[in-house]
Amino acid sequence: KLFLNYMNNFRELNLNPSLMQSITRMHFKIPTPIQAQAIPSAIIGKDILGTAQTGTGKTLCYGIACINNLLNDKTSNALIICPTRELAVQVGDVLNGLIENTMNIKSAVLIGGESMHKQLRQLQKRPRLIIGTPGRLNDHLKRKSLKLHQSYFLVLDETDRMLDMGFTPQINQVLETVPKKHQTLLFSATLPNDILKLAEKYLNQPVRISVGSTSTPIEKIKQEVLRVDDGDKYNQ
């Protein structure tokens, strides 16, 4: 079992100064438990296998590690894979909130149900940060409009949901396209066998992090279900 580094505040981390400035501007002071456990290992290049639910602060956790990586290694690109377009947009908002203009990091969100032309225009600007859903990422790979040969930083978010939604072939396809040597952060609310197999295949000696219950929703998260017809779902 690996010894976990903990941190009590973001200043303890040896983060890129412009990222630290951005964290201060956004008034992030005390890390959540998953941030305190995962960020120190993630910023030194370790793979992470994390169980955490929505509301634990994992987006900022991998977002800080991701942007720190892009700032410190100008040859590296990052790819974040999410199960749904809604989550991908939300993750894009969080990460773009951390990116200062002076950082010169362009991003693109590649999701289904959105104009392909708009996404192709985004990709022509050579973004170093790609956030997307498995199906649309594969569409771009087939078109050769997306190249992942420099994606040395990879995040799989809510992986159990992606596998439940039948995205295993698309995830495998994407993972076969990124460089053999890369860093992977995998997050999931649960760890069924299919995820453990995926982790065994693609993660390199990951640091295992678990925060909160894996069966009950996190407190203070309000959950709502809205039933709509297929044709109306993108109008909501």
pLDDT at 37: 92
- Rounded-to-integer distance, Cα 74 and Cα 186, Å: 23
pLDDT at 12: 85
In tens digits, what is the pLDDT along the chain, a chain of 236 residues?
344 556 778 888 889 999 999 999 998 888 999 999 999 999 999 999 999 887 889 999 999 999 999 999 999 999 999 999 999 999 999 999 999 999 999 999 999 999 999 999 999 999 999 999 999 999 999 999 999 999 999 999 999 999 999 999 999 999 999 999 999 999 999 999 999 999 999 999 999 999 865 444 444 444 455 566 666 654 44
- Rounded-to-integer distance, Cα 82 and Cα 120, Å: 19
- Rounded-to-integer distance, Cα 63 and Cα 103, Å: 14
Distances (CA, A) of 123 to 33, 107, 141, 143, 161: 35, 9, 12, 12, 27
pLDDT at 228: 67
Distances (CA, A) of 112 to 86, 136, 138, 173, 175: 10, 6, 11, 17, 19
pLDDT at 123: 97
For tokens 């749904």, the residue is: 84
Cβ neighbours of residue 69 under 8 Å, at least 6 residues apart? 43, 76, 78, 152, 153, 183
pLDDT at 11: 85
Q: In whole angstroms, how large is the CA radius of gyration of the chain?
A: 17
As given in the structure block, the two tokens for residue 142 are 């087939």
Cβ of 114: how many Cβ atoms within 10 Å? 15
User: Which amino acid, residue 211?
Assistant: V
Interaxial angle between packed helices 168-177 and 134-143, expressed in degrees from 0 to 180 and rounded to the nearest 10: 50
3-state secondary structure of 210: strand
Cβ of 14: how many Cβ atoms within 10 Å? 11
Sheet holding 151-156, edge to edge: 107-110, 129-132, 77-81, 151-156, 183-188, 48-51, 207-210
Task: Specify whether the CB–CB gap between 71 and 92 falls below 8 A.
Answer: no
pLDDT at 213: 53
Task: Specify whether the CB–CB gap between 52 and 36 falls below 8 A.
Answer: no
With b for 16 or more beta-carbon neighbours within 10 A and e for fewer, the 77-111 pattern comes to bbbbbbbebebbeebbeebeebbeeebebebbbbb
pLDDT at 52: 87
